[in-house]
Structure 1
Amino acid sequence: MTFYTYGYLTTHHNTWQYARIALLIALLVVFIGLFVHYLRNQWNVKYKDLSIITGTLLLLVLGFQINSLLSLRSASQQTGQITATVQQVATTLKVKPSRLSINATSTGDNLLVKAPDGYYRLNYNSDGSAFVLEKIALKQPKITLVKE
């Protein structure tokens, strides 16, 4: 079972976004350069073909970037919900949120919280607006803790 620390949930970012943006900018610069070179030398078809290939790659990477940004936005909203839940649990247990770990990165059923004094299960009500903490004992837990 994997538990995520509060620090991991608040600082976990997708670093591939920056690499994709850099790739996108590099492809845009190459595309503009090839297209301008083709416009200057219209008799040389090689630059036209290279600019079409680069433009196609640019559109492909742009599509991946937009898809990834939408996924990242959704994931950050879910992470915001789970961090708010961890903060509420910390308030209830009267500990700092940094001392708690939770077994999911998004809200849902069967959430377990690892606190300094044991493990707790979060039982939400039917509309998900409130929860009850139930102390549990795990038998033979195989815990992996993911930190920042």
Structure 2
Amino acid sequence: MTFYTYDYLHQSQSNWQYGRIAVLSVLAVIFILFLIHYLRNRMDIKYKDLSIIVATLLLLVLALQYNDFNSIQSSSKQTGQITQTVKQVANRLHVQPKTISVNSTNVNANLMVKTPRGYFRVDYNSDGSAFVLEKVELDGASKIKVEEAQ
């Protein structure tokens, strides 16, 4: 069973989004530079071709970004929900959120929490607005892997 730390949950989504923004920014700057260079030297056609290639790559990356926008937004929302749950569990158990790990990156019915005080199962009510912590004993606790932020 894999558990994810609070820092891992908090950083996993933001790194990928920043990477995409960086790629888009670099491609936009390269496109502008090639376009300016072509407009200064209209006789040098290689800069026109390079501008077209970079513009095509830029449009492709923008299309992929638009295509993934809903899934990124949904996963960011779920990560926000699970980090809020981790904060609430930490508050109830009087421990730091950084010492808590969960077995899922989104809120689900089988959410397990690993804390310094032991393992707990999170039982949500029917509409998901509140939960109860139930202490559990895990069989095979040696097979547990914890994913931490890097």
Corresponding residue SS for 2:123: strand
Q: Which residue of 2 aligns with 1:93?
A: 93
Structure 1 alignment gaps of length 5 or more = none
- C-alpha distance in 1, partners of 2:46/2:95? 66
- CA-based RMSD: 2.6
1:25-81 Cα deviation digits (max 9, x unpaired): 333333234334444555554443332222111111222344455544333322221
110-119 or 64-73: bigger deviation: 64-73
1:66-104 Cα deviation digits (max 9, x unpaired): 445554433332222111111222222232222221111
- Shift in Å, 1:115: 1.8
- Shift in Å, 1:128: 0.8
* TM-score, normalising length: structure 1: 0.79
Aligned residue identity for 1:113: V
Question: Are 2:21 and 1:21 aligned?
Answer: yes
Larger Rg: 1
Q: Which residue of 2 aligns with 1:64?
A: 64
- C-alpha distance in 1, partners of 2:83/2:16? 23
60-69 or 135-144: bigger deviation: 60-69
Q: Do the aligned partners of 1:102 and 1:114 also contact (CA within 8 Å) in 2?
A: yes
- Shift in Å, 1:111: 0.2
**Among the aligned pairs, what percent are the same residue?**
57
Aligned length: 148
Structure 2 alignment gaps of length 5 or more = none
- C-alpha distance in 1, partners of 2:29/2:93? 54
Q: Structure 1's 51 and 126: CA in aligned 2 closer, same or farther, altered over 3 A?
A: same
- Shift in Å, 1:114: 0.9
- C-alpha distance in 1, partners of 2:20/2:47? 25
Q: Which residue of 1 aligns with 2:145?
A: 144
53-62 or 93-102: bigger deviation: 93-102
- C-alpha distance in 2, partners of 1:130/1:17? 30
Q: Do the aligned partners of 1:102 and 1:111 also contact (CA within 8 Å) in 2?
A: yes
Q: Which residue of 2 aligns with 1:132?
A: 132
Q: Structure 1's 42 and 66: CA in aligned 2 closer, same or farther, altered over 3 A?
A: same
Q: Structure 1's 124 and 25: CA in aligned 2 closer, same or farther, altered over 3 A?
A: closer
